Amino acid sequence: MTGIAQSRDITLRYFAWVREKVGHSEERVSIPADIATVADLVAWLQARGDGYAHAFAKPSAIRAAIDQKHVQSSALIHGAREIGFFPPVTGG
């Protein structure tokens, strides 16, 4: 018999205007087992309410880091302890 996929707990951190739109800087969530990539997680977050939908309305404008390492939206999140979301950073 194969194991039943279960949800897993992860810490999400939000920075700059992402934090402002979501309404908090950090949370511990239980994500469904079928969420495999950062892009999957963003889609799931968009459905969590108006603040999330607004913050993640343009996924290409959001950057992500898994365990403090910058990653692409296609990055696998299996085993991640923390995922951070933030807007692009510009220098000057």
Is 92 a domain residue?
no
pLDDT in tens, 67-85: 999 999 999 999 999 999 9
Is 42 a domain residue?
yes
Confidence of residue 88 (pLDDT cuts 50, 70, 90): confident
Is 23 a domain residue?
yes
Is 43 a domain residue?
yes
Is 3 a domain residue?
no
- Domain count for the chain: 1
Task: Give the CATH number of the domain where residue 52 resides.
Answer: 3.10.20.30
Q: What is the pLDDT of residue 1?
A: 43
Is 31 a domain residue?
yes
Q: DSSP label at 76?
A: B
Q: What is the pLDDT of residue 7?
A: 81
The pTM (predicted TM-score) of the whole model is 0.89
Q: What is the pLDDT of residue 5?
A: 57
pLDDT in tens, 6-63: 788 999 999 999 999 999 999 999 999 999 999 999 999 999 999 999 999 999 999 9
Task: Please give the residue range of the domain that contains residue 62.
Answer: 8-86
